[in-house]
Amino acid sequence: MCNMSEYRIKIHQLSPSDMTSLKLFLGFFLQFIFLLSVVNAQGLTVGFYSQTCPQAEAIVKNVTAQVMSVAPSLGAPLMRMHFHDCFVRGCDGSVLLNSSTNQAEKDAAPNLSLRGFQIIDRVKSALENACPGVVSCADILALVARDVVVALDGPSWKVETGRRDGSVSNITEALTNLLPPSSNITQLISGFQQKGLSVKDLVVLSGGHTVGTSHCSAFTSRLYNFTGNGDTDPSLDPNYIARLKIKCPQGDQNTLVEMDPGSFRTFDEDYFTLVNKRRGLFQSDAALLNNNETRAYVISQLSNSSSTFFTDFGVSMVNMGRIGVLTGTAGEIRKVCALVN
């Protein structure tokens, strides 16, 4: 072996053309190392399956499109499923796992209203037929979430893939980590920051409430017994309270109410108009007016011509999709999304 002084002498003895070649090589090498470190730092990349299952995203898109053409009401629940997966143990597909003793995440009260598990199974079956043991259930959730938003006339974005599936699903962790609709702004900001998400991510992802429905049970305390004295929530528009009381008589827990009345199957910016008018369905919606940054964002989205919501939503979905991911040799690729291998 030569010592460093010998090495330096040999470098200086190279011809100009050799020096140019060496510099080019070192430049490419360092660039490669940098890119590799970026990918490894997140463990995810766009087009992760381009070599192992090139048709993966097309298969997901085709199955999702078939479902949405006949059951568009499943769009919001399938998008919400990705949220609920990522906020508990990270985006690892654990929300899909079954428990023989009903102690999995999907058995927790906040997840009992999730729908569309059979659609994820259908997508997984199609992928297994094309590329056995390659595409994770966690990635399926992320891809389906994007594709249902597109089907609801919302934005598209490039989904990072490369997640692997977790093998643990715990009902208590779901109860602890999923923010309830009664959350105030302090709880919301804290909950998002604990997951590595920003205040902007909070208000942007709240915009997902532009689609879907909710059971009366999620908000009737605002109508009938807000502080325990038979009163209403003063942050909710009184005229809207009157309309909601017609839809949700006292004691009604099961009737479904549109989150964005009139366009609950269209992904648009109207949610922010509702929040600004004090007509957000949940306390967590109303809470967005109680913080300078979130309130400013709500107001900035009121004009459709200057709204950045569609672009911002894609960015925040990518951010959320990076929470606690399993990559490399961690986790597994489940053959059936509801069962550990």
**What are the residue numbers of the active site?**
84
DSSP 243-272: HHHHHS-TT--S-EEESSTT-TTS-SSHHH
Looking at residue 334, its amino acid is: R
Q: What is the DSSP letter of 302?
A: S
DSSP 129-153: HHSTTTS-HHHHHHHHHHHHHHHTT
Would you say how long the chain is, in residues? 341
For residues 178 and 166, give the distance between their C-alpha atoms in angstroms, rounded to a whole number.
18
Number of H helices, E strands in the chain: 15, 4
Interhelix angle 137-151/309-320, rounded to 10 degrees, is 170
The label of the residue with tokens 């399926």 reads: 140
Q: Which residues contact 252 (CB under 8 A, 6 or more apart)?
A: 216, 220
| Token duo for residue 117 | 């598990």
Distance of CA 123 to the CA centre of its chain: 18
Q: Confirm if 83 and 157 have CB atoms less than 8 A apart.
A: no
